Amino acid sequence: MKKSPLPLQNACGGSKNQSLGKEALVKLLRWHFGHPEFRGKQLDAIEAVLSGRDCFCLMPTGGGKSMCYQIPALAKKTGIVLVVCPLIALMENQVMALKEKGIAAEYLSSTQATQTKNKIHEDLDSGKPSLRLLYVTPELIATPGFMTKLRKIHTRGLLNLVAIDEAHCISSWGHDFRPSYRKLSTLRSHLPGVPILALTATAVPKVQKDVIESLCLQHPLILKSSFNRPSIHYEVRYKDLLDDVYADLSDVLKSSGDVCAIVYCLERTMCDDLSAHLSKNGISCAAYHAGLNDKLRSSVLDNWISSKIQVVVATVAFGMGIDRKDVRIVCHFNIPKSMEAFYQESGRAGRDQLLSRSLLYYGIDDCKRMKFILSNADNKKSKASNSQEELSKKTLTDFQQMVEYCEGSGCRRRKILETFGEKVPASLCGKTCDACKHPNLVAKYLEELANTCIVRQKFGSSQIFMSSSSDTINEVRTSEFWNRDDEESCSEDDISDSDDGLAVKNLARSKLPKKLGISEKIECLQRLEERYYPDKSSDKQINKPEKNAISDTLRETSKQRLQNALKQAQQRLGNLKIEVEKSASFLENECYNKYGKTGKSFYYSQVASTVRWLSSADYTGLTNRLGTINSSLSDDAPPETEPPAARSPLVEGPTEITSSDFHDSIRSETSVAVSPTEIASPSTRLPPIPSFSQFINTRKTKDNRSSASEKKSPNGVQKNLEKRMRLQ
Ligand SMILES: Nc1ncnc2c1ncn2[C@@H]1O[C@H](COP(=O)(O)OP(=O)(O)OP(=O)(O)O)[C@@H](O)[C@H]1O
Ligand SMILES: [Mg+2]
């Protein structure tokens, strides 16, 4: 261990129980960690536990909670601090960082070599351990063998403190509930007199109460820092009012300079799709999600941490333990499941306390989808003491708060803080959220959004969440997107794998869990859909087409959009000779024939991707696609030098639907100028919208057909089709 600046024995006054004074503690902080002063409530927490008092410490993400147990470990002359941590990778990271500073720290987990573990145990059994901090999983604590060892250490007076990091995991009301944390409730009775420090960034009052009660904290000092993150500016943009959300995000990232950013998406396919789009726009980025292999994930993470890439487009797999301080933008491309999740994720911005930005893209369809997912999320939480019904209600109430954050016109910062029970004056924000900075504009957007919703409700394609709160909650809840493995099936000193842990697992190069294959996921979704519409009858299905009619007017509007995009493409490519009207009709017809039959959402999506494709397609791409209907075009040779914009073509034309098209079905196109009356009088008879199962089965058939024809196709076009059709 690095030699302490303090003659510890003297500083402690030779007595084990006497605590260091403030000055001595600051010295330790400066010497070991190089920080000039304690932050916020750190010193209070440290002093409390050093005096033997229990402490509940609530500090925001990046607030510096670790210091609250690391300094006490250094302040005592002998003995250890036991730190309970939910993820092996988190322990590995902290231990690595402490060792680099010359501090004697170790962790015990199933991933370590037996030799290493034996050495640690020998040290613990020695009666005078050299270790200062020992990190363990909650599962290990629960094993009788390890508890016996802890009791022995305690009897010898060598257990100075038990710190429970991420203590909210103990509560089934928290967003990261882990059944194994419940087992920590025995600590108090097994280790009487040892102070317990519970640390969390989750400020929900119910969680606080649960943590304090479950850990049997006795008259704990409760320290709560404000959850306000003044350096983060908050903003919501409305997908349904934007022409092209991808382009909008591209612009945001480009105009911010080469800054470090995280873009959160709900699904893996969306990450891939968006990342590819941003890359094509010259943004240094990569996708990160549990569907990628270990090696790829590790390299994405390494590249991002070392600033080789600036933007990570990720699912929530990119979470707990990510400690890059200079993240300037955290964007939620889809609405998160709760304010808690939003706060944690957006809180990854500005850990260096410098100005940063939280941008959320809110879309009505995203909202519907999330609600569906949450209503069907898994029922593991029912294993806890709270009833399933109560939890289900809570899940939807939590989501409702998130919707209100987006759909409300009041100060966003205030809304976040109020969610966590903080009452703050209106002036606190100081125009650091869009609602305070541009109240009229936000009000206008919300009005437009409401109008769009009315139109779409008439359409039958959408429904704003707030107006549909009476929906029933299904009995079985399963989520595809942040499923957690059953911890109770874990080996005793192992931890469960979770998406949240993936990123840090990669940091530490740990083994990753095996996730469900796509086919299992599809089956699962199909089953869920059946549960979601338990009373669906064929009659109901027959009624659907009317609602989803694609009128001539709508088709005309789409043609117009395509014409405009074609004209722009023409200009971009140096007056390319195409018959704009004819080409637009051709493209629109393609969209209609392929997807019109499956409903408006797919049709919208298809038109949208065609417009996107046109905005970056190159000469060859356009020729291939439109050559047959533009004889002048196919006869022409491509211009000798293409303008720069055409040099990075989209490889694939929007010939087939991708899963992201399916999921993110209505992007910018929902705001097309179609009046409700026009929509209500469809002139085209349409077949029913397929259920998810039908859609998947259709896709499977198409997939088969496509791969069969690919074998015959020498030009590779089918390969692209197949690629775009993949669901994962
Ligand atoms: N007193 C301090 N002065 C300056 N920097 C500090 C201080 N205390 C901690 N830090 C730094 O703040 C960063 C965040 O600390 P830490 O990881 O402990 O936060 P946390 O509250 O545990 O966050 P999370 O909720 O994400 O786990 C670290 O880089 C740490 O070095
Ligand atoms: Mg922490």
Q: Is the pLDDT of residue 605 over 80?
A: no
57, 35 contact by CB (below 8 A): no
Task: Say how many Å lie between the CA of residue 9 and the centre of ligand 2.
Answer: 30
Cα separation, 525 vs 94, whole angstroms: 38
Q: Is the pLDDT of residue 149 over 70?
A: yes
Task: Say how many Å lie between the CA of residue 250 and the centre of ligand 1.
Answer: 31
Neighbours of ion ligand 2 (CB under 5 A): 65
End-to-end alpha-carbon separation of the chain, Å?
48
pLDDT of residue 548: 58
Mean pLDDT over 344-371 rounds to 93
Task: Say how many Å lie between the CA of residue 333 and the centre of ligand 2.
Answer: 26
Nearest listed ligand to the Cα of residue 43: 1
Q: What percent of the chain has pLDDT over 70?
A: 66
| Ligand 1, atom 16, residue with closest C-alpha | 64
pLDDT of residue 656: 25
164 pairs with which residues across the strands?
84, 198
In 3-state terms, what secondary structure has residue 301? helix
Weakest mean pLDDT among 152-156, 174-178, 182-186, 200-204: 174-178
Cα separation, 698 vs 594, whole angstroms: 12
Q: Is the pLDDT of residue 12 over 80?
A: no
pLDDT of residue 595: 65
Mean pLDDT of the chain: 75
pLDDT of residue 48: 97
Q: Is the pLDDT of residue 682 over 60?
A: no
Q: Is the pLDDT of residue 544 over 70?
A: no
Instruction: Using the atom order of ligand 1, give the atom closest to the CA of residue 42.
Output: 1
Q: How far does Cα 15 stand from its chain's mean position?
A: 48
Instruction: Using the atom order of ligand 1, give the atom closest to the CA of residue 325.
Output: 29
Cα separation, 59 vs 551, whole angstroms: 54
405, 415 contact by CB (below 8 A): yes
Q: Is the pLDDT of residue 243 over 60?
A: yes
410: Cα within 13 Å, side-chain hemisphere: 14
Q: How far does Cα 448 stand from its chain's mean position?
A: 28
What is the best residue among 22, 26, 32, 33 to mutate for testing ligand 1's pocket, by most ligand atoms within 8 Å of CB? 33
pLDDT of residue 500: 36
Q: How far does Cα 509 stand from its chain's mean position?
A: 21
Query: 206, 201, 188: which is closest to 384 by C-alpha?
Result: 206
Q: What percent of the chain has pLDDT over 90?
A: 40
| Ligand 1, atom 4, residue with closest C-alpha | 35
Radius of gyration of the chain (CA): 28
Cα separation, 512 vs 89, whole angstroms: 11
Q: Is the pLDDT of residue 136 over 50?
A: yes
pLDDT of residue 203: 67
pLDDT of residue 336: 95
Instruction: Using the atom order of ligand 1, give the atom closest to the CA of residue 201.
Output: 25
135 pairs with which residues across the strands?
83, 107
53: Cα within 13 Å, side-chain hemisphere: 15
Nearest listed ligand to the Cα of residue 347: 1
pLDDT of residue 603: 75
Q: Which residues line ligand 1 (CB under 6 A)?
A: 35, 38-39, 42, 59, 61-67, 201, 323, 351
pLDDT, tens digit (0-9, with 9 covering 90-100), for 94-118? 999 999 999 999 999 887 899 999 9
Provide the token pair at 201.
Answer: 């960034």
pLDDT of residue 632: 62
224 pairs with which residues across the strands?
58
Task: Say how many Å lie between the CA of residue 104 and the centre of ligand 1.
Answer: 19
Task: Say how many Å lie between the CA of residue 68 and the centre of ligand 1.
Answer: 10
pLDDT, tens digit (0-9, with 9 covering 90-100), for 317-348? 887 667 788 999 999 999 999 998 999 899 99
- Residue 646: DSSP 8-state: G
DSSP string, 308-362: SS-EEEE-TTS-TT---TTEEEEEESS--S-HHHHHHHHTTS-TTSS-EEEEEEE
332 pairs with which residues across the strands?
264, 360
Weakest mean pLDDT among 274-288, 625-639, 669-683: 669-683
Distances (CA, A) of 415 to 4, 91, 291, 409, 433: 45, 34, 34, 10, 11
